[in-house]
Amino acid sequence: MIDFVFWMSCVRFSSLGTLLTLAGLLYAQELTIGRLRYSGGGDWYSNPSSLANLLAAFRRDTGARVALREKVVSLQDGSYRTVPIIYFTGHGKLEFSEKERENLRAYLREGGFLFADDNFGMDPYIRKELNQLFPDSPLKEIPCSHVIFRTVHDMPGCLPKIHEHYGGPPQAYGIFLNGRLVVFYGYNTDLGDGWEDIDVHNTPPHKHELALKMGVNVLYYALTAGLVGK
């Protein structure tokens, strides 16, 4: 049995029941994020301080028990099955084997969540790989009306723009299975750079905070999608 199925197996309750169940979800065990070690040549290890800062922000904003650091996982072994959320980023090429795709499909169908973040230059590889996961459910833009933009923090501008990169507005894409968002892809935003220690990229404090708030929202949605809506 996958360890994180407990988090994802709840149904809707009355308002009081929802609060009690959510408290159980957030305090039952220490949360961490899986940083995906992938093949293809991309720097999967980039932005080394980002996920620790995001976990700290999640603790601050929700009171949940979280680990101090992320856990490095792979789709080539069983490590990916020990985390409720898999995150990946980088600048270079991303490439999954067919076995890795099969593992990721099963993970998402069984309640897992994938958080993809282009650190600039990965977009064509990300789209190619993600669109191969579920050909009948390709990536599509997530509307600003989606609950993921207002779970813990209200994001009136939807996905924040952290770095210029391609120019133009940032865009959030997702894959939906049976109405549930199972993949979140932040394009032309670079949330991971925004989560890093401020002095790494000289990120303005307000952008650092916006990036953290969006990341907290994504994590919260991933853990409580059955409770907060689709």
Predicted pLDDT at 202 = 86
Predicted pLDDT at 6 = 38
Place of tokens 């099969």: 102
Distance CA(31)–CA(14), nearest Å, equals: 25
Predicted pLDDT at 12 = 28
Predicted pLDDT at 166 = 83
Predicted pLDDT at 201 = 86
**Cβ count near 109 (within 10 Å):** 12
Predicted pLDDT at 150 = 96
Distance CA(33)–CA(162), nearest Å, equals: 21
Task: Go through the domains of the chain in sequence order and give each one's CATH number.
Answer: 5-228 (3.40.50.12140)
What is the value of pTM for the model shown?
0.87
Alpha helix positions (H), the chain: 5-8, 15-27, 50-62, 98-109, 123-133, 191-195, 198-201, 205-228
Tell me the two tokens of residue 37: 């070690």
pLDDT beneath 50: ranges in the chain: 1-24, 27
Side by side, the strands of the sheet bearing 171-177 are 71-73, 34-36, 85-90, 113-118, 180-187, 171-177, 140-141
Predicted pLDDT at 53 = 98
